[in-house]
Chain A
Amino acid sequence: MPKLTINGKEIEVPAGTNLIEAARRVGVEIPHYCYHPGLSIAGQCRLCMVDIEKAPRPTIACNTQAVDGMVVWTETDRVKETRRSVMEFHLINHPLDCPVCDQAGECWLQIYYMKHGLYDPRMTDEKVHKPKAVPLGPHVMLDAERCILCSRCVRFCDEITRTGELGIFNRGDHSQIGLFPGTELANKYSANVVDICPVGALTDRDFRFQVRVWYLDSTKSICPGCARGCNIEVHTNRRRPHHAEGRRVARLKPRPNPDVNGWWICDAGRYGYGAVDDKSRLLAPSRREGGAVTDATWDEAIAAVAGVLARVAPDEVGVVASPQMANEDLFALRRVLERRGIRRVGFRVPPRAPGDEDDFLIRADKHPNSLGASLLGLDGDVAAILAAARAGQVKCLWVFGHDLLASGWPETDVDRALQATELVVFTGPNANATSERAQWVLPAAAWVERDGTYTNCAGRVQRFRQAADPLGRALPEWDILGRVLVALGAPAAPPRAERWFGELATAVPAFAGLSYRSIGDVGQPTATGAA
């Protein structure tokens, strides 16, 4: 491992580490545009210049690997002058339209100009004009005038998705990003180019003009869109509720995790948060009697559901848990089942159409916690429960989240099962055809409205955090189930998700030794690993 000195600080780095990454390790930030750790080296922006002792002139840090004994200086007068020059070159043809640019506030031209530029502009001639507001695909809008031609987006489409839709056309200061004829930027990961675009050239058609980025809060989370469990940030708009038509979740952004998703997420996951602020959200516990639906208090709802569970023989209760539920919820459910000796439980409901999958991030299993549900021992046969219901053997059916009527099973079969069941209870964040059939509906908080953990397809337990308050009177499932547990006679239930996880880790060997603290931001493998 080469040992080098950066700004007087000695550091040892793995062979092959470039100077940008080596400097990062000693807390030195080398400004750069074209370099991205997930992409090949382009060496084009020329901003990451550093001085290396014995080199005749500043060198780009991105394409320089750390060598034993190397002495690097990142803040010499010469380096600072070069940076200032390169910043000037980057900006002479830039439209400087920050007030109307969506990137403002998170734009690396702004940030680096303030840090490393601060020159007096000398460019007085007409700037080069290029196409503006060009849709590249369903999610991405191009403003070629703002583009600094770092080629990150081109390399992303060449190297990560290998779809190659983008190229740089023309030469010199007329160079511009564009689509190859006959293509559109519609690959399954297309919007990642917006994230890696350091400027306002590529903006998100879903997000642009909705809310200024400085009004957003960021919360670490996990994408619930499939079993991969990509690490994400949830950006919420609490401070400008009148913007973006009241959407609280403004956007999702990938959060780097080399063990899970690298720097990327798929478009399906990125735009899959619509249900959170959807009209279908269930806002209050409700009871259906005859054709009438009336809201109830939580106390009434819990008492009613617990009363049924206490009254009905355990063999006559069926539970369809959901792999959308967090480990904490599923463990709370297990406690309820154990207390009553209920054995008819499962969570796998076949989708009507098989989920798409690829060899990169997207998994066919569109649930974030199937493995967690399985490790918690809830992997029973749901089809058998429904068959028993049709045979009149189930008096109470508690469905979590699923729309059984929209599943891969014949609708008539499901319908008959629901018909034949005396009491259907539904718990989930959103209404669906199945919830419409329930006598009791217990509204659950959406994943962004609560804390919890998912166990991804590789057996990695990952935390997601509360980014917004639950809508209406919705509660996290662990809370609903904890209340039921108490109503069934348990002395108390854990008051927070973290405490539920603590109990889970004590009780379930696969989770032994794990805690919220040890899981941290990047997750931790279960003891058993992948199932």
Chain B
Amino acid sequence: MTGERILMRNFDLPDSHTLAVYRKAGGYAAWEKARAMEPAAITEEVKQSNLRGLGGAGFPTGTKWSFIPKGHTGPVYLVINADEGEPGTFKDRYLLERDPHALIEGMLIAARAIRSSLGFVYIRGEYIEPWRRFSEAVREAYEAGYLGQGFDVVVHRGAGAYICGEETGLISSLEGKKGWPKVKPPFPAIKGAFGMPTIVNNVETISHVPHIIARGGAWFASLGTKTQGGTRMFSVSGRVTRPGVYEASVAITLRQLIDDLAGGVSGNGRLKAVVPGGSSAPILRADEVDVTMDVDGLRNAGTMAGSAGVVVMDETVSIPEALMVVARFYAHESCGQCTPCRESTGWIYKMVHRIVDGHGRKEDLDTILDVAKRGAGTTICAFYDGAVGPYISYIEKFRNEFEELIAK
């Protein structure tokens, strides 16, 4: 099930981040091909590939591109989300460090498809080395004439807020404002960065684009499931023998990913639970891991593919403590804009913290569940829904662990 490595094919080459090595490995050939294509044909190819956004939401990429208003004559911006902040996710940093030209080539092609002449790459503030590598690659691409000939790239560093990875929070931050998500409508494709139509795509998503153009949408689609094409990079962490980033078809099952690629649960541990798509994805029990890792497969299993950050927990992990860590994260990172999220992330953290501290009350669990469910779907962005995923799933699936703490 490991199959061919596409995004990571150059990772093991010495100096894979340099233009020379990238070109030697066939780099920028797809861009040469795309330059001869009509923009609409590029979008069409990407639509056929069933490429879906790999930052978390899983939205069909080609469809997103086609939302740019047809009659628009002003600037159109391409924004790359390299703010990778979802706990348990660390794939984009590898792409930026080890194959930055794949992203630049993908941007060139995407920009042609959406008729953009300016791209922004918003890199997470803590990502120093990825930022250095990528900036160097941009410099090389300018020197080689790939950039600066109708398409420019601005590299922008974030300042460490999780919410700046939300596409409109990112746009606000890019505009120099506080990283607050924007009310929708208007959607970014209509009115995004600096008031102009804007497409925001994840690093990994755009890094796929050269391969789709080079080898065809149908080929890419054939690598995955019916509704999602290709491979993706899984960040596997936690209690596994070989944690790390693995590229595999989106049709791989969670069990295969853990056992075959990551070497199974580490030591003598037994699998207890898995978070399959970053901290916002509802948790799965050990008996729920025979599920394909594509967007729809995980959705049907009641969780989400998210950013494909797979966090594996064995029997030694306390689920209430894990939820406390997660709840602290969401309370800390809520931007504070919408009332339900601002107020209840802090409240729920206090309640979970109290339970873990041994001061839980028997009504706490139902209060947390009720508060979480009441707030879900009432906010500007998906942050709170992402927090609700763990709140509800951890408690509903491991309620006995919480009740034991409360009973003590």
Contact = CB atoms under 8 A, between A and B. Distances in A.
Q: Do A and B come from the same complex?
A: yes
Interface of A: 41-47, 49, 57-58, 60, 63, 81-82, 85-86, 88-90, 92-93, 122-126, 128, 148-149, 167-168, 170-175
A250 B314 CA distance: 68
Interface in B194-245: none
Nearest to B163: A171
Given A49-B378, A122-B367, A173 B346 contact: yes
A174 B336 contact: yes
B271 interface: no
Nearest to B343: A89
A60 B345 CA distance: 21
24 contacts: A42-B337, A43-B183, A43-B380, A44-B337, A44-B338, A85-B340, A86-B339, A89-B342, A89-B343, A89-B344, A92-B343, A93-B343, A122-B371, A124-B361, A125-B347, A125-B350, A125-B351, A128-B346, A149-B336, A168-B336, A171-B163, A171-B335, A172-B335, A173-B347
A376 to B, nearest CB: 50
A85 B378 contact: yes
A287 to B, nearest CB: 66
A39 B33 CA distance: 49
A149 B339 contact: yes
Given A125-B354, A174-B346, 17 more contacts: A42-B337, A43-B380, A44-B337, A45-B339, A63-B183, A89-B340, A92-B347, A122-B371, A123-B347, A124-B361, A125-B351, A126-B350, A167-B178, A171-B333, A172-B332, A173-B334, A175-B336
Contacts of A92: 343-344, 347
Question: Looking at chain B, what size class is its interface with the partner chain?
Answer: 20 to 34
B379 interface: yes
A43 B184 CA distance: 9
Contacts of B333: 171-172
Nearest to B184: A63
B367 A171 contact: no
B302 interface: no
A401 B374 CA distance: 63
B161 interface: yes
B263 interface: no
A172 to B, nearest CB: 4
B365 interface: no
B108 to A, nearest CB: 36
Contacts of B337: 42, 44, 149
A124 B350 CA distance: 10
B219 to A, nearest CB: 36
Contacts of A49: 378
A174 B333 CA distance: 11
Contacts of A173: 331, 334, 336, 342-343, 345-347
B350 A44 contact: no
Contact of B345 (A63, A90, A124, A172): A172
A168 B333 CA distance: 15
A125 B344 CA distance: 12
Contacts of B339: 44-47, 86, 89-90, 148-149
A126 B374 CA distance: 21
B207 to A, nearest CB: 31
Given A41-B183, A43-B183, A90 B343 contact: yes
B375 interface: yes
Contacts of B363: 122
Q: Closest 3 CB pairs between A and B?
A: A175-B336, A173-B346, A43-B183
Contacts of A58: 378
A58 B378 CA distance: 8
B377 interface: yes
B185 interface: yes
Most buried by B among A82, A149, A172: A172
Contacts of B340: 46, 85-86, 89
Nearest to B370: A122
A145 B249 CA distance: 51
Contacts of A148: 339
Contacts of A45: 338-339
B346 A42 contact: no
A172 B345 CA distance: 8
Contacts of B354: 125
B376 to A, nearest CB: 9
B348 to A, nearest CB: 10
Nearest to A123: B347
A294 to B, nearest CB: 66
A403 B377 CA distance: 64
A63 B377 CA distance: 16
Nearest to A64: B185
Nearest to A151: B337
Contacts of A63: 183, 185
Contacts of B342: 89, 149, 172-173, 175
Nearest to A40: B183
Contacts of A90: 339, 343
Nearest to A47: B339
A220 to B, nearest CB: 34
A148 B337 CA distance: 10
Interface in B20-40: none
A171 B163 CA distance: 10
A167 to B, nearest CB: 7
A356 to B, nearest CB: 31
